């Protein structure tokens, strides 16, 4: 599966309990977190996530928790869990002249597939290059 999904980038205070409150607020409303990446800075963290209902999640995070956020489209895809797959994907994008701005992925030893989130300079062409 490969699709374009909205990703939320939430600016969160870098202190104990902040992530727990965010995740609990989403869970309370039945929103599933499909993927997440956290980058920290001196005074805050940037939490990037793809969720089951981005519009509802954004409303909850902004109105209930008063968190600043941005929404951007990303490529969300299932990938085989095997050595070399990320290199193959990067090479296909290189051949198409597409730059990867950032990426994050996950899998485990027991999973046959993982998930990859890509933000590139051209989302539509990324889909074409990888389909």
Looking at residue 39, which CATH number applies to its domain? 3.30.2130.10
Q: Is the pTM of this model over 0.85?
A: yes
pLDDT tens-digit readout, 90-113: 999 999 999 999 999 988 888 888
Render the burial of 49-73: b for 16+ CB within 10 Å, e for the rest.
bbbeebeebbebbeeeeebebeeee
Same domain? 57 vs 91: no
Number of domains in the chain: 2
Same domain? 7 vs 59: yes
Same domain? 63 vs 79: no
pLDDT tens-digit readout, 27-45: 999 999 999 999 988 778 9
3-class state of residue 25 by DSSP: helix
- For residue 39, the enclosing domain spans 2-72
Same domain? 42 vs 10: yes
The CATH number that applies at residue 85 is 3.30.70.260
In 41-124 the beta strands, taken as DSSP E runs, fall at 44-51, 69-80, 100-106, 113-120
Say yes or no to pLDDT of 47 above 90: yes
Taking phi over 0 as left and psi of -120 to 50 as alpha, with beta for the rest, 66 belongs to: left
Same domain? 38 vs 81: no
């Amino acid at each position: 599966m490969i699709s374009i999904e909205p990703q939320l980038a939430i600016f969160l205070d870098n202190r104990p309990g902040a992530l727990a409150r965010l995740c609990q607020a989403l869970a309370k409303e039945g929103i599933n977190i499909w993927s997440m990446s956290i980058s920290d800075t001196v005074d805050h963290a940037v939490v990037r996530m793809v969720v089951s209902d981005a519009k509802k999640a954004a409303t909850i995070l902004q109105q209930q928790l008063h968190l600043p956020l941005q929404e951007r489209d990303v490529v969300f895809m299932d990938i085989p869990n095997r050595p070399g797959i990320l290199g193959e994907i990067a090479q296909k994008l290189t051949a198409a002249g597409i730059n990867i701005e950032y990426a994050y992925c996950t899998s485990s030893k027991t999973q046959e597939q993982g998930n990859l989130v890509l933000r590139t300079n051209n989302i539509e062409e990324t889909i074409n290059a990888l389909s």
